[in-house]
Amino acid sequence: MAVAPTTESLKTTTMIKSELRKHYRLGETLIEAFLFFCGAVSILTTIGIVFVLGKESLLFFTTQGVTLREFFLGTEWQPAIGKFGIWALMNATFMVSIIAMLVALPLGLASAIYLSEYASLRARSTIKPILEVLAGIPTVVYGYFALTFMTPILRAIFGDNVVQIFNTASAGIVVGILVLPLVSSMSEDALHAVPDSLRQAAYGLGATKLETALKVVLPAATSGVAAAFIVAMSRAIGETMIVAIAAGAGPNFTFNPFASAETMTGHIVRISGGDISYDSIDYNSLFAIGLMLFVLTLVLNIISRYVVKHFREEYE
């Protein structure tokens, strides 16, 4: 038999609904509006950059008569004589980036495994900030470090007649040192996020600490480690001052790491630093190179998001 609600119960229910109802708070509204504004500015800034790069690059291809075939398949970059082969610059960029990854990836992953699996809490809290100090050193200092320290070492090892004063090898090694904290920090965070129950289970089955780190923890953190590698690769491609100082100041399509060659970012710095006139051949070509850098970085970011999504492990 149903009981009719009393007046007091109806009043209580009304009061509870009134208390649970969303109340207008000016402070939260202002914070929400500010966060929305920041996000909108970021998106609009990116759109503006893409628009400017696309517009100026289109003018480069239309006014200078450069064909896409010549631009993407040519190996000689000399705008003054009508040579626009982007591979003369992209090849040096990839060489520096690959050398940098050969330095940063094993050292960064090894340091990340040590900090995550072997170091004590005190050692981890001390070593990690010191390692991350490398990321705060100005890149121009790294550039002169490569020129005055790394290049003489390479010339002493391989010979002065083999290693040129400006070369992609020394620039790549120092760029690897530059991105080392990025690889180490992101990889260590990914390894540290793996549940401790997986480690205890491996120890219970008789695995050693190294076997647990390499065969259990590292595979479980594959998505984070792979993302760190790709982000570091993107950072190495976009590096400017080190390659501008140590790699060379002239486009050169070569696979010799000890030879002088100019990267895309180094070329932009050299050309834009001179007395370049508006709407000239060199001026218009800079936007085409910048658009290529943007596309390369965008592709690497897309790959990074795919890797994280595809290999991500979720634990309860």
pLDDT, position 231: 87
Domains and CATH numbers, the chain: 77-311 (1.10.3720.10)
pLDDT by 10s per residue, the chain, length 316: 445 556 666 556 666 655 556 666 777 888 989 999 999 999 999 899 888 888 888 888 887 777 888 888 888 888 777 788 889 899 999 999 999 999 999 999 999 999 888 888 888 888 888 887 887 888 899 999 999 999 999 999 998 888 899 999 999 999 999 999 889 988 888 888 888 888 888 888 888 888 888 888 888 888 888 888 888 998 899 888 899 899 888 888 889 999 999 899 988 888 876 666 666 777 778 888 888 888 888 888 888 788 777 766 555 5
pLDDT, position 8: 63
pLDDT, position 148: 92
pLDDT, position 150: 92
pLDDT, position 252: 85
DSSP string, the chain: ---PPPHHHHHHHHHHHHHHSPPP-HHHHHHHHHHHHHHHHHHHHHHHHHHHHHHHHHHHHHHS---HHHHHH---EEGGGTEE-THHHHHHHHHHHHHHHHHHHHHHHHHHHIIIIIS-HHHHHHHHHHHHGGGGS-HHHHHHHIIIIIHHHHHHHH-TTTS-SS-HHHHHHHHHHHHHHHHHHHHHHHHHTS-HHHHHHHHHTT--HHHHIIIIIHHHTHHHHHHHHHHHHHHHHT--HHHHHHT-SS------TTS----HHHHHHHHHTS-PPTTSHHHHHHHHHHHHHHHHHHHHHHHHHHHHHHH-----
pLDDT, position 19: 57
